[in-house]
Amino acid sequence: MTALERIADWITSGAPVSAPRRAAAADAFADTLACMIAGASDVSTLGALAVAAQADPRESAICVDGGMRAPGSAALVNGTAAHALDLDDNFIGAATHASAVLVPALLATARLADADGPALLDAYLVGLQVQREIGREVAAKHYTAGWHATSTIGPIGGAAAVAHLLGLDAGRTTAAMSVAVSSASGLKRQFGTPVKPVHAGFAARSSVEAALFAEAGVTGRADILEGERGFAALYGAPSADWPAEPIDTSAVHAIEQPGLFPKLYPCCGSTHLAIDAVVDLLREHSFAAADVAEIVVTVLRPNAANLPYTHPENPTQARFSMQYALTAALEGGTVSMSDFEPARVRERRSHPLFDRISVRTWSEEAERIMLDQGRTPHRVELTLTDGRRLDRQREVARGAVSEPFAPWEKRRKFTSLSNLADSHYDAVLRLAESPNIDAIERLLRAASDPRNGAG
């Protein structure tokens, strides 16, 4: 049995889904929908809308602008919007922005599948677990090699999720994932450009189309993950060794461990541990941004590679700049959406703190040991002008499973990003009880209505 066949057997096994897991999936839907709405006017999303503008008779899927489009086009638009501001969740289990792929792909096919709320949440949980099963073997080396796992591993899990929603059998589910492997692409070299959010849109569209190809009878190699010149060999993990035993999520599911990391700050996740460390130090000690003489941040090599912009020139680059993120945190005590407004970025373009902040990496040996232990620590060493030296190492960022947001923080993020009433948020949280997806469609139409003030 190949790796994909093993995964497909689990997907179609009919394993029961617990209420807490569905509730966690509903949280992910709410967070991602808010990110979609907030990213609706980003240049990347406007580009996706232009690409998707051509009329199509299969207009069965709602988009973040309130319009109906073909499933693939809707997935492209909504996936791009979800990732546009880099405020959507991270999934360390596969080094992906999991929900920015899964939620748009499933929304795009929900009407085709005549899906109710529980089916939508269950399919999401399938897609997340599949990303984990693949990411467990390849994510670390794959991501370090320069692949953007959101658009490589992401569509394979997305295709599995859509296949489950459509009710495909094990053979066609295997085919859907195999087709999706052939769409795997996306380079981290694009980070800090408007095409980076489009990676999530491409992955969501590929998820939909791969499952529809499989439903139509198109098949690929079942051994495409582990076979000679297959996915693992070509994408940076030639020694990957998928287990042969059946997948068992009865004790732990990927949404529980390692879990999702919903984001507090609208910038690259590679800055979040350092931002949290700086905020910790600001709260514990008496100093201001002007008192900082030097900051040295030590991160993992892949994180350093994600942050090439030491002197960012626009908001997109600023989201991928450690110098910018820490300057914003020092000046404001946090990092917020307003920090990435064009005028604010221009104002900070020559900030003296940029030259006082440097990024280093752990030694290769230290990094190998940390990764083997499942650890990804970042360290901030801060020197003040009065000679004081402050030091803080962060192992997890705010929002992670071990340091989760409070319910009120989740609600505040949704309402502040979407400018919608609490009732819309509550409706998403009740998806497990919903006979259809009408609540999500009403939410997106309300968000795009100029009279609402959220469009």
Could you read off the pLDDT of 322-374 as tens digits, one per residue?
A: 999 999 999 999 999 999 999 999 999 999 999 999 999 999 899 888 888 87
pLDDT of residue 333: 96
Helix (H/G/I), strand (E/B), else coil: 65:
coil
φ, ψ for residue 68, nearest 5 deg: -100, 140
- Tokens 């190998």 identify what position? 368
Give the whole-angstrom CA distance, residue 37 versus residue 390. Answer: 39
What is the rounded distance in angstroms from the CA atom of residue 79 to the CA atom of residue 124?
A: 14
Q: What is the pLDDT of residue 370?
A: 86
Q: In which residue ranges of the chain is pLDDT below 70?
A: 54-58, 451-455
Q: What is the CATH number of domain 269-394?
A: 3.30.1330.120
Token output for 124: 């999401």
**The pLDDT value given to residue 58:** 62
CA 416 – CA 297 distance, rounded (Å): 31
Fold: same for 3-259 and 269-394: no
Q: Are the CB atoms for 438 and 117 separated by under 8 Å?
A: no
Contacts of 280 by beta carbon, 8 Å cutoff, 6+ apart: 392, 394
Query: Can you give the residue ranges of every domain in the chain?
Result: 3-259, 269-394
**Range 3-259 classified under CATH 1.10.4100.10:** yes
Q: What is the pLDDT of residue 261?
A: 94
Calculate ∠ Cα 205-316-62, nearest 5°: 30
Residue 360: φ, ψ to 5°:
-120, 170
Residues 98 and 246: their CA atoms lie apart, in Å, by 23
Within 8 A by CB and 6+ apart from 184, the residues are: 151, 152, 153, 155, 156, 231, 235
Q: Kindly give, in sequence order, each residue whose CB lies less than 8 Å from that of residue 302, ignoring residues fewer than 6 positions away.
A: 95, 143, 144, 270
Residue corresponding to tokens 């694009």: 190
- Considering the chain, what is the average pLDDT of its residues? 94
Helix/strand/coil for 293: strand
> Tens digit of pLDDT for each residue in 421-450?
999 999 999 999 999 999 999 999 999 987
Give the pLDDT score at 454.
Answer: 47
Six-digit token string for 204: 């969501």
**Pairing mode, strands 357-361 and 292-299:** parallel
pLDDT in the model for residue 54: 62
